[in-house]
Amino acid sequence: MTALICDSDFAANTKLTDILFGLRGIESRRFSDHIECITFLKYHRADMLFVAVDDVNIDFVKIIEESRRQNCFPLICLTGRNAEDSMNVFRYNCDRFLQKPYSVKNVELCLDYFDNIGFRHTSVVVRTFGRFEVFVNGLPVIFHNAKAKELLALCVDRLGAISCVEAVDKLWPSRTFDERTKRLYRKAVNSIHETLERYNIPEIFQSYRGGCTINKEMFKCDYYSFIEDPKGNLLTLSGEYMSDYDWGEHTLAMLIHTAEAADPDFDLSIFYD
């Protein structure tokens, strides 16, 4: 885990760093002004963020806004010497207030609290009915590589793993499986890793020699919910599935057949033009 500490008070920075490492082995990056911290957030992942609210060198509001703009979603703890500053936790929808001077007990209570609410910051939802999209805490994940997004969609469609050979066949159907297409595949895999790291959800995707897979336990998915309980989720089926990808038509046909079997009286005409 990585903690960012933004505070121009060197002694306080050092003490909090030592306590975090001593309690949980948490590595910390320290910043003395908000510009350095914001620059780091633009390119790196963080699990938790400690920001001084009573420091004239720190614009803590800008740091909070940037962490959300960059979709980093760290757990945010505001720090200060005055108990009145704790009201900023509610004002800016942060997670915790930690009063100085730091003590091992208070930092441990803070980390315990983070353990209890951590799931709220890693809520991942995958939508397949319609266009394929991934959401983290309600915000869409932006893929800069279209083939990377499609590869992740293929893993979802296959309920887990897909081989490199099959992935190349689906992603580049008009090309042969050779060293060049294998390089394109590896580029897509690396792009997925980079994207999910940026959104702090790297655990939902894994690659291995000859293929890649997803961890279905780490996200909610309309497709999976339908498979588990077709009758109870009939109304979620819109008649479209992975509409950006031609290969999704086969799965859509299976879904419609499943819907018909689950409830013969259900009006399937809503799935057709």
Domain residue spans in the chain? 2-121, 124-271
Write out pLDDT tens, residues 135-183.
887 778 999 999 999 999 999 999 989 999 999 999 999 999 999 999 9
Q: By three-state DSSP, how is residue 175 classified?
A: coil
Dist CA 99 CA 160 (whole Å): 45
**Quick check: bond before 101 cis, omega within 30?**
yes
- At 83, the amino acid letter reads A
Dist CA 51 CA 37 (whole Å): 10
Asked whether the beta carbons of 70 and 41 are under 8 A apart, the reply is yes
| Strand arrangement of the beta sheet that strand 48-52 belongs to | 27-31, 2-6, 48-52, 75-80, 96-99
Mean pLDDT across the chain, nearest whole number?
A: 87
Q: What percent of the chain has pLDDT over 90?
A: 52
Tokens of 45: 């992942």
Tokens of 20: 């975090």
Tokens of 52: 């001084």
Please give the pLDDT value at position 40.
86
Cβ atoms within 10 Å, residue 245 = 18
Write down the number of H helices and E strands in the chain: 10, 12
Phi-psi region of 159 (alpha: psi -120 to 50; beta: other; left: phi over 0): left
Tokens of 271: 């799935």
Cβ atoms within 10 Å, residue 252 = 18
Write out pLDDT tens, residues 216-225.
888 889 999 8
Q: Is the pLDDT of residue 70 over 70?
A: no
Dist CA 44 CA 60 (whole Å): 18
> Considering only 106-115, 207-216, 226-235, which range has the smallest mean pLDDT?
226-235
Please give the pLDDT value at position 151.
97
Q: Calculate mean pLDDT across residues 188-210.
A: 90
Q: Which residues contact 78 (CB under 8 A, 6 or more apart)?
A: 50, 51, 52, 53, 60, 85, 86, 88, 89, 92, 94, 96, 97, 98
Write out pLDDT tens, residues 1-38.
789 999 999 999 999 999 999 998 888 999 998 899 98
Pairing of strands 205-208, 211-214: antiparallel
Structural element, H or E, at residue 98: strand 96-99
Please give the pLDDT value at position 73.
62
Provide CATH code, domain 124-271.
1.10.10.10
Q: Is the pLDDT of residue 270 over 70?
A: no
Architecture field, domain 2-121: 3-Layer(aba) Sandwich (3.40)
At residue 269 the predicted structure's pLDDT band, cuts being 50, 70 and 90, is low
Please give the pLDDT value at position 120.
52
pTM, whole model, 2 decimals?
A: 0.59
At residue 261 the predicted structure's pLDDT band, cuts being 50, 70 and 90, is confident
